[in-house]
Amino acid sequence: MSETPQAEDRGWVVRIIDHSGASEDDIVEEIKDFQDILHANAFARAYVRDSIERGRVGGAVGREVLENWFAFGEDAIVVDAEDEGWKSANELDEFAATPATPMERDWRAIDPRRLVEDDEAEL
C-alpha cells in the first residue's frame, strides 16, 4: 500500500455527501486525522451503514431502502484513496437487503474527532 502526500500531510480525510441537496455542493463536512486507510474505510462504511438504517422505514428492505437513501441519506468517500478507498456502491444492495447490527452502525466509536477528545480528557 502506498500512501499519497495527502495522507502523509494530515491523515486521511472522509468526505460526507448529502443526497438530499440540503447544501450547495452536497458536501456536509470533511472529517480529518484518521490513523490509516483502514480506519478511514471502517468509518466511511459504518457511517453509510448508519445512514441507510436511519432511512429504513417499517422494516423495509431492498429497493425502497435504497430509494430513501438516495433521496435523503448521506454517503461517505475516502478522499484521494483511489482503489484503496471503501466505496458504498460495492455494498449498497447488501446493506439494503439486510438490516445492520448496532455495532455495524457505530461510526461514533471510531470517529477520530472523538478519539482526540477522549485522549485530551485523559491529560
DSSP string, 19-54: TT--STTSEEEEEEEESSHHHHHHHHHHHHHHHHHH
Arithmetic mean of pLDDT, 55-82? 93
Q: Which pTM does this prediction carry?
A: 0.83
User: What is residue 20's predicted lDDT score, i.e. its pLDDT?
Assistant: 82
Highest average pLDDT, of 12-26, 56-70, 100-114, comes from: 100-114
Q: Using an 8 Å Cβ cutoff, are 46 and 107 in contact?
A: yes
Q: Is the pLDDT of residue 108 over 90?
A: yes
* Spatial distance between the Cα atoms of 9 and 33, rounded to a whole number of angstroms: 10
Q: CA nearest 73: which of 96, 42, 43, 90?
A: 96
Instruction: Give tens-digit pLDDT for 6-62.
Output: 444 558 999 999 988 766 677 789 999 999 999 999 999 999 999 999 989 888 889
Looking at every residue in the chain, the average pLDDT score rounds to 86
Q: Is the pLDDT of residue 118 over 60?
A: no
Percent of the chain with pLDDT over 90: 70
User: What is residue 89's predicted lDDT score, i.e. its pLDDT?
Assistant: 95
Torsion of CA 93, 66, 109, 33, to 10 degrees: 90
